């Protein structure tokens, strides 16, 4: 079922699923099967040759997974989507597809810690190099492009500093130079930002985060603008490297997706209130939230993002010791990596998600020991704020020395 006129909030629930093809089941059935029985040897031959549509083996496709893929392709305004067993499987698949030995990947100033780790591995094994740049003007992007640059890889907002990259600007320069643009859209969800509409070639998600939203699945999604190319990825890197999603995890994500728009509303509302509270706290140095009037790129945020999303980063006085002390004082807010769950989560990027990045490079990205990243959950904002207030007061008391 699909109707181009529907809003994304409606598509989340209905698109990609046809009751009549599934014994009229209202919700998507779980096809927990590894393989499919062909009606005849000839039918099997035709399915393998691509002459006939139909399932073959769940590494190449599964009906439950297909519903998720169709829904996400539509939500991200793409031609096709592939689902994976983790966000990193989506990242590694698209990078293996778009690069070959001796190519260069141009990256935004910060990227997810494991994406950084993967790029280091690709450099060590296949001499695929990478560099990080702010990508803030056409001149600076062009200066950073090398003769062997085949991919620009962007995260925006950048994790965990909430710095933004102007997608329209980067897409324009990438197009001019025939370079593929890949955008990690995990932080915004398909409701917050539409990179393919702005000119990106691929958008990917760690579906572990907002898309599933319930903290019980690890999965990834890759959406592209060229259907034939996406089919090629399905039948090469995805099939042969094999980082596919399980039907059960796809089923859980389909369940989670139905409430994405109502969940995002609460995540965003809570994050706004938390950011506003932190901005007035004396022990807090800086607050990083894209839709805050104090964010240096708030205009860009309002241009390319429908909302500021649910993540708030902030620095406090007193460095690592104070940051860790603060985390330990929290009662409601849980100390955990990941984001987009019902529970409000806090983490210390320098010693957790971004600890694999060498210290000097990490500091250049703005990830100091004073920085904390909070993922606003679905609780009532007042309870989260109260927990933060108590923890900040205790930390300020312990780490402020009066002479
Ligand atoms: C979590 C995350 C990833 C990796 O996804 P997994 O599902 O953990 O493999 C990639 N990019 C961003 C921005 C993330 O937050």
- Asked if 12 and 1 touch (Cβ cutoff 8 Å), the reply is no
Give CA–CA dist 87/111, Å, rounded.
13
- pTM of the full structure: 0.96
Q: What is the pLDDT of residues 35-79, one digit of tens each?
A: 999 999 999 999 999 899 899 999 999 999 999 999 999 999 999
Residues of the chain with pLDDT > 90, as a percent, come to 94
Answer whether residue 154 shows pLDDT above 60: yes
**Are 89 and 243 contacting, i.e. CB atoms less than 8 angstroms apart?**
yes
Tokens standing for residue 60: 């190449």
Both structure tokens of 297:
């790129």
Can you give the pLDDT at residue 83? 98
What is the Å distance from ligand 1's center to 124 Cα? 22
Q: For residue 21, report the distance from its CA to the centre of ligand 1, in Å.
A: 33
Q: Is the CB of 157 under 6 A from ligand 1?
A: no
Closest CA to 12 of 268, 272, 189, 218: 189
CA distance 317 to 6: 48
Q: Please identify, by atom number, the ligand 1 atom nearest to the C-alpha of residue 337.
A: 1
Q: Cα separations (Å) of 174 from 127, 133, 200, 328? A: 22, 14, 9, 45
Ligand 1 contact, 28 CB (< 6 A): no
Mean pLDDT of 295-305: 97
What pLDDT score does 403 carry? 46
What is the predicted pLDDT for the residue at 210? 98
Q: Is the pLDDT of residue 175 over 70?
A: yes
Give tens-digit pLDDT for 84-109.
999 999 999 999 999 999 999 999 99
Pairing of strands 104-108, 80-84: unpaired
Across 283-303, average pLDDT: 97
Task: Return the pLDDT at 402.
Answer: 59
pLDDT at 32 over 90: yes
Best mutation site among 186, 187, 192 for ligand 1, i.e. most ligand atoms within 8 A of its Cβ? 186
313 alpha carbon to ligand 1 midpoint, in Å?
A: 17
SS3 content of the chain, % helix, strand, coil (to 5): 45, 15, 40
Which band of pLDDT confidence, cut at 50, 70 and 90, is reported for residue 163? very high
218: Cβ below 6 Å to ligand 1? yes
Pick the CATH number of 8-257 from 2.40.160.20, 3.40.640.10, 2.40.110.10, 3.40.50.1480: 3.40.640.10
What are the start and end residues of each CATH 3.40.640.10 domain in the chain?
Answer: 8-257
Cis geometry, peptide bond prior to residue 201 (ω within 30 degrees of 0): no
> What is the arithmetic mean of pLDDT over 231-254?
97
pLDDT for residue 356: 87
Q: Write out pLDDT tens, residues 96-149.
A: 999 999 999 999 998 998 999 999 999 999 999 999 999 999 999 999 999 999
Confidence check: pLDDT of 294 > 70: yes
Please determine, for residue 226, whether its predicted confidence score (pLDDT) is greater than 70.
yes
**Strand blocks (E) in 156-305:** 180-184, 202-206, 220-224, 284-288
CATH fold, domain 260-397, is 3.90.1150
How large is the average pLDDT for residues 190-219? Answer: 98
Which residues in the chain are classed under CATH 3.90.1150.10? 260-397
pLDDT tens digits, one per residue of 340-398:
999 999 999 999 999 988 999 898 888 999 999 999 999 999 999 999 999 999 999 99
């Amino acid at each position: 079922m699909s109707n181009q006129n529907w809003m994304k909030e409606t598509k989340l629930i209905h698109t990609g699923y046809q009751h009549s093809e599934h014994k009229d089941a209202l919700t998507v059935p779980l096809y927990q099967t590894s393989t499919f029985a062909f009606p005849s040897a000839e039918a099997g031959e035709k399915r393998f040759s691509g002459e006939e549509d139909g399932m073959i083996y769940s590494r190449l496709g599964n009906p439950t997974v297909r519903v998720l893929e169709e829904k996400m392709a539509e939500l991200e305004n793409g031609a096709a989507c592939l689902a994976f067993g983790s966000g990193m499987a989506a990242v590694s698949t698209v990078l293996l597809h778009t690069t070959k030995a001796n190519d260069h990947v141009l990256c935004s100033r910060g990227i997810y810690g494991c994406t950084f780790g993967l790029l280091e591995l690709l450099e060590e094994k296949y001499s695929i190099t990478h560099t990080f740049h702010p990508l803030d003007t056409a001149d600076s992007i062009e200066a950073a492009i090398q003769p062997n640059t085949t991919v620009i890889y962007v995260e925006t907002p950048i994790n965990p500093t909430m710095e933004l990259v102007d997608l329209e600007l980067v897409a324009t320069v990438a197009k001019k130079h025939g370079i593929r643009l890949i955008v990690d859209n995990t932080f915004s969800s398909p409701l917050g930002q539409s990179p393919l509409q702005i000119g990106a070639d691929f958008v990917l998600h760690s579906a572990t985060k907002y898309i599933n939203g319930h903290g019980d699945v690890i999965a990834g999604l890759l959406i592209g603008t060229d259907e034939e190319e996406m089919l090629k990825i399905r039948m090469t890197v995805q099939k042969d490297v094999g980082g596919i999603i399980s039907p059960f995890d796809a089923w859980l994500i389909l369940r989670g997706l139905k409430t994405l728009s109502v969940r995002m509303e609460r995540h965003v509302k809570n994050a706004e209130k938390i950011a506003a509270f932190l901005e007035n706290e004396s022990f807090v140095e800086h607050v990083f939230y894209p839709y805050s009037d104090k964010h240096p790129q708030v205009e860009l945020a309002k241009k390319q993002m429908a909302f500021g999303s649910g993540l708030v980063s902030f620095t406090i006085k007193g460095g690592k010791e104070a940051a860790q002390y603060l985390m330990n004082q929290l009662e409601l807010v849980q100390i955990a990596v990941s984001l987009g769950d019902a529970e409000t989560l806090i983490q210390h990027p320098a010693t957790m998600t971004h600890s694999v990045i060498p210290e000097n490079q990490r500091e250049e990205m703005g990830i100091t020991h004073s920085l904390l990243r909070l993922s606003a959950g679905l609780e009532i904002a007042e309870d989260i704020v109260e927990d933060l207030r108590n923890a900040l007061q205790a930390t300020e008391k312990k780490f402020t020395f009066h002479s």
